[in-house]
Structure 1
């Protein structure tokens, strides 16, 4: 017999996927959350959904470190780290007009040098 840890899980699969997708979306918007902020978010999410929680969650007003570790094991597509600062110039430089200009220039190069899908490689190339 093996232990069934799923019976002790706070969130079901759907709720956990909502939480994981939210964390991914935050990271994509240059607003990654710290591990402590993720644990606090999980507590607030559980409280809002009237979930049964361990007493330590109520006392600390956040989920435990072990909960976060297991969340990351179950959802390997997310990684929670202390966010690094993104320069304002880099953040502002990633906008629709700049990206559109990049792809227009790329298309022009493809046409100029008659490049097709077979000419694309993973690393830098010499022209």
Structure 2
């Protein structure tokens, strides 16, 4: 009756006793989502995103998942991305943003060249 004291359901206890838990094998929690890109490729991807942001180009979700697919293909990496749409998956996208929480993806606003040129350190500090 200790399951009632601790609020653990019988099916949960049974699943753990029979070692049929999908996300924990042998008492060790396993990641639900497998990374499809090595960290070196992801670092290159992050650098590209930051470079685009520094040049005031917006980087959207679709841009990111398309670029991830292209980088996997160019480097000949085995992946389970969508071959028909040539895009990485939603699970990869969310796990990528969790790993690189400092990246913010958004649609760029149109900016005139004059506004971009006027937006410099000396003009802003005035």
> Could you tell me how far apart the structure 1 residues matched to 2:47 and 2:32 are?
23
1:31 paired residue number:
57
Q: TM-score, structure 1 length as denominator?
A: 0.67
Contact 2:36 2:92 in 1 (8 A): no
Match of 2:99 in 1: 74
Q: Which runs of 4+ in 1 moved over 6 A?
A: none
Structure 2: stretches of 5+ with no match in the other structure = 1-27
Q: Secondary structure at the match of 1:60?
A: coil
Of the three residues 74, 84, 88, the one matched with 1:59 is 84
| Structure 1 residue 84: Cα displacement | 1.9
**Following the alignment from structure 1 to structure 2, what is the Cα–Cα distance between the partners of residues 77 and 30?**
17
Kept after mapping to 1: 8 A contact 2:69/2:87 = yes
Where is the helix percentage greater, Structure 1 or Structure 2? 1
Per-residue deviation, 1:69: 1.3
| Corresponding residue SS for 2:104 | coil
1:5 Cα deviation (Å)? 4.6
Q: TM-score, normalised by structure 2?
A: 0.67
User: In the comparison of the two structures, how many residue pairs are matched?
Assistant: 98
SS of residue in 1 equivalent to 2:29: coil
